Amino acid sequence: MVKSTRHAKYELYYHIVFVPKYRRSNLTGKTKERLETIFAEICEDKGLELAESEVMPDHVHLFIGSPPKNAPSLIVNWVKGISARKYNQRYDDRVKWTRSYYVGTAGSASKGAVERYIAEQEGSDA
């Protein structure tokens, strides 16, 4: 859906993938649920749309809609930095992310395809 600001009409979605430090497969169970909640909180606080999210045992997929004022690198920094800080303050176990990440853009034509891909990750052994 096309959104607008005072001076722009936009439909920007970013497919973001990142991994925990040492690519450990520890993003399961309660950790997975807690991270999904924290990602939703961050997006709400920052005025982003969390269209789809999937926390896999050893990596995270997020599909986030954003106004054009936010650079993709800024969104990734928000999500990774704030999520690690909030998680580590709230819970005894620790989450650390690597510095690397993947970000790809998606317009209206491929938005559904990316959402389906992320939703299908749950059942695969990626």
Q: Is the pLDDT of residue 108 over 60?
A: no
Q: Which helix (H) or strand (E) holds 111?
A: helix 108-120
Mean pLDDT for all residues in the chain? 89
With left for phi above 0 and alpha for psi between -120 and 50, is residue 31 left, alpha or beta? Answer: alpha
For range 67-72, the mean pLDDT: 94
Dump pLDDT digits (tens) for 93-107.
999 999 999 999 876
Q: For 87-107, b where at least 16 C-beta lie within 10 A, e where not — what string?
A: beeeeeeebebeeebebeebe
Greater confidence, 117 or 20? 20
Question: What six digits make up the tokens of 66?
Answer: 């954003």
